[in-house]
Amino acid sequence: MKGSLYSVSDKAMFDAINQSKVTNSELKDIFLSRGIIVSHETKREKLARYFSLFPHSYQDYKRLADILGTNTRREKNTSTTVNRIVDKDVIETVAAGLVSDLEHFGATCTIEESEKNSISIKVEYREFNYSNSEFKQISNKEAVISIEINEENLIIRHPQNKTVEEWKSLYISKLESELEEEVETTNINLSNTTDHEVVTRFFNELINGIDGYKLYDVTDVYVYHPEEKHLDEDEDEDEDENDFENPELGTHISKASLKGQNVLRSEELLQLYKKGFYISKIVWRSKSEKLDDELYEFEAQFSDAENKDYFSYLVKGFYSYKGSGEYVKGRKSLTSIQERELTKKVETAAHNALKKVME
């Protein structure tokens, strides 16, 4: 069995069983798997100490890891445009090559034809985080890499995280090998922009530019202010130290966030703009321009706030209309079809916003 050669310490086993997340019923099942029936009156600490003395198998680890494992949150989406026409046969061949590589490292993959001119690579994989406790180091995750073929280009959509970004880069590398030429790619970023007003204007254009939807309110705004570099990093290190005076100790606030209603119009945010802050992340709600009373919630951000790069977005869900101008407090999930359609609208709005601010 892949991944079966793993052993945790007695201390880790003891701590795991003592956690309240392990229910009494689950604790009884753990002991029953060893042929031991436990009493209701036996204290958990005593049971944990007793069980931790046993030789432990991978199945013991897996059982507790499944109970205590980290819950993965929905990840934001991102996209990369390959500025070249590519035949579907080539796309499928390269996808098969990527799947072969990923399966070699233990991932489970399937290739599906989601629409006439697009395919999806569904990947189930494990992600390790050794900074967590031993029973929370493994997260079971799933990613869908969607590849859409258009008349002029190729669009690759995927969850934004470091692992899937590497897979996307590997796919493009394999595509170049198959085509025997380099391909030009485009991502949504403002890395070459130093004007903080341009970055903020990009987000304003985005939230007002979703086709068929009208901005209702902005609830969360995260702003960033990069620290100015006073010295050139390439300056000669041997230069006389007396030529420089030590700067006075001061403070620099690089991040701030505002939550509430009509945040974009708040005086606090306007003051931050004047100090050089720009928007790095925003959460807003929009209504359909049709006869639809539901309120849809979106989120977009530059994950690398300092360099204005790694743009990602998420359709978080919707709020049903309750009446008298009020909405229910609980957010509901969208269907997969609704989510896919709205995600594409946000993506298109982001590209249009980028063109406008860079004109």
- Same domain? For 87 and 203 the reply is no
Do 200 and 349 fall into the same domain? yes
* 294 within a domain of the structure (yes/no): yes
In terms of residue numbers, what domain contains 82? 77-186
Question: How many structural domains are present in the chain?
Answer: 3
Is 240 contained in some domain? no
- Give the CATH number for residue 103: 3.30.160
Tell me 332's DSSP state. Answer: B
Q: Which of 68, 87, 104 represents a domain boundary (last residue)?
A: 68
Within-domain flag for 247: no
Determine the 3-state secondary structure of 210 from DSSP: coil
Indicate whether 120 and 167 sit together in one domain. Answer: yes
Cα 70 to Cα 133: distance, rounded to the nearest angstrom: 10
| Residue of 124, 100, 130 whose CA lies nearest to 6 | 130
pLDDT of residue 235: 47
CA dihedral in degrees (178, 183, 187, 190; nearest 10)? Answer: 150
C-alpha span between 181 and 92 (Å, rounded):
18
User: Is there a single domain that holds both residue 266 and residue 208?
Assistant: yes
Three-state DSSP class for 205? helix
* Digitized pLDDT (tens) for each residue of the chain, 359 residues in all: 444 445 678 888 898 898 888 899 999 999 999 899 999 889 999 999 999 998 888 788 888 887 886 666 789 999 999 999 999 999 999 999 999 999 999 999 999 987 778 999 999 998 887 777 777 777 789 999 999 999 899 999 999 999 999 999 999 999 999 999 999 999 999 999 999 999 999 999 999 999 999 999 999 999 999 887 654 545 444 444 444 344 455 577 899 999 988 899 899 999 999 999 999 999 999 999 886 689 999 999 999 999 999 999 999 999 998 888 789 999 999 998 999 999 999 999 999 999 999 98
DSSP element (H, E) containing 352: helix 336-358
* 233 assigned to some structural domain: no
The answer to the question of residue 82 being in a domain is: yes
Clarify whether residues 117 and 258 are in a common domain: no
Residues 124 and 128: their CA atoms lie apart, in Å, by: 14
Please indicate, yes or no, whether residues 20 and 45 belong to a single structural domain of this protein. yes
pTM over 0.85: no
CB atoms within 10 A of CB 339: 17
**Under a CB-based contact definition with an 8 Å cutoff, are residues 293 and 223 in contact?**
no
Q: Are residues 172 and 200 in the same domain?
A: no
Q: Which of 51, 68, 85 is the last residue of a domain?
A: 68
Contact 175, 183 (CB under 8 A): yes
Q: Which bin fits 180, alpha (ψ -120 to 50), beta or left (φ > 0)?
A: left
Whether residues 32 and 108 share a domain: the answer is no
Could you identify the residue written with the tokens 């989120």?
A: 299
Instruction: Indicate whether 102 and 120 sit together in one domain.
Output: yes
Whether residue 317 sits in one domain with residue 207: yes
84 and 165 co-located in one domain: yes
Q: How many helices (H) and strands (E) does the chain have?
A: 9, 13
Helix (H) / strand (E) element for 179: namely helix 162-179
Are residues 164 and 211 located together in one domain of the fold? no
Residue with tokens 């310490």: 9
Distance of CA 170 to the CA centre of its chain: 19
246: in domain: no
Q: Which of 182, 163, 157, 158 is nearest to 172 (CA)?
A: 182
Residues 6+ apart with CB under 8 A from 18: 44, 45, 48
Distance CA 148, CA 127 (A): 27
122 touches 142 (CB < 8 A): yes
Tell me, yes or no, whether 308 lies in a domain. yes
Structural domain contains residue 27: yes
